[in-house]
């Protein structure tokens, strides 16, 4: 157990729907990062939060949004889902904004859009 | 923008043998950090080894070692005495200050390593 908890582990939904992925960072970590892993694109950085505030944005679609709550858990909201959004979504955490020791990853949420 | 390239989509190695996975990166930064992550079939991302760019000494962690060539922007991973449990996807990753002291990891597309009994 890495200490980073992601729920649910698997999600199957229809096109056009909206889903919410949840992440609890490792105890003591203030930064949360979201990544999308697809077969053809590898691991793509979506967004980073630090202590409740958005810190950096990557290749995140406008249909996607995220937030980090006062208890430091984070949610990634995906709306108007398309078949191409099917992927493994990872959450990772680090103690601060300087991930110079790398991240601790959760086990991911497998999203399948049908 | 930084890029990370892993030119070997798939590799295989006999159990107990040694294998080297390649990684190159592109950056104009002088201070940065490099990583190798392992993703076994369980899909959990596991940190294998880390290198600081300002340290010339290559990092080692038990059977895992790196060959860091800063001028060539190369960061290869050597796995000695390969074990069946080493079968996994291996990702090379890079990070530096993207602004205001904030770092994110940029990953290569991965190398699928199979260890053959």
Give tens-digit pLDDT for A81-92: 999 999 999 999
Asked whether the predicted pLDDT for residue B17 surpasses 80, the reply is yes
A95 or B101, greater pLDDT: A95
Asked if the C-beta of A90 comes within 8 angstroms of chain B's C-beta atoms, the answer is yes
A99–B105 C-beta distance less than 8 A:
yes
Of A101 and A17, the one with more pLDDT: A17
pLDDT at residue B115, as a whole number: 97
Q: Does A103 sit within 8 Å of B102, measured CB to CB?
A: no
Measure CB to CB from residue A103 to each of B44, B97, B105 and give the nearest one.
B105
Number of CB pairs < 8 Å for A and B? 63
Inspect the interface and report whether the beta carbons of A33 and B104 lie closer than 8 Å: yes
Within its chain, how far is the Cα of B67 from the centroid?
A: 10
Quickly state the pLDDT bin for B30 (edges 50, 70, 90). confident
Looking at residue B103, its pLDDT comes to 85
Q: What pLDDT score does A42 carry?
A: 84
CB burial string B47-77: b at 16+ within 10 A, e below: bbbbbebeeeeebeeeebbbebeeeebebbb
pLDDT of amino acid B102: 78
C-alpha B104, offset from chain centre = 16
Alpha carbons A9 and A113: distance in angstroms, whole number? 14
């Amino acid at each position: 157990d890495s200490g980073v908890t992601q729920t649910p582990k698997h999600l199957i939904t229809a096109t056009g729907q909206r889903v919410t992925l949840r992440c609890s960072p490792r105890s003591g970590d203030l930064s949360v990062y979201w990544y999308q892993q697809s077969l053809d694109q590898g691991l793509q950085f979506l967004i980073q939060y630090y202590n409740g505030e958005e810190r950096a944005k990557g290749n995140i679609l406008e249909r996607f949004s995220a937030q980090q709550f006062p208890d430091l858990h984070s949610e990634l909201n995906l709306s108007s889902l398309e078949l191409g959004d099917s992927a493994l979504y990872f959450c990772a955490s680090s103690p601060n904004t300087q991930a110079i020791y790398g991240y601790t990853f959760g086990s991911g949420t497998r999203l399948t859009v049908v | 923008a930084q890029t990370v390239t892993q030119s070997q989509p798939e590799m295989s190695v006999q159990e107990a043998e040694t294998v080297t996975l390649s990684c190159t990166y592109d950056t104009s930064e002088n201070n940065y950090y490099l990583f190798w992550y392992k993703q076994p079939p369980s899909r959990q991302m596991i940190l294998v080894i880390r290198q600081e760019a300002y340290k010339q000494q290559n990092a080692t962690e038990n059977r895992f070692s790196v060959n860091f060539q800063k001028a060539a922007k190369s960061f290869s991973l050597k796995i000695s005495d390969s074990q069946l449990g080493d079968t996994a996807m291996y990702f090379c990753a890079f990070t530096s200050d993207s602004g205001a002291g904030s770092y994110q990891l940029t990953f290569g597309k991965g190398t699928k390593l199979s260890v053959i009994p």
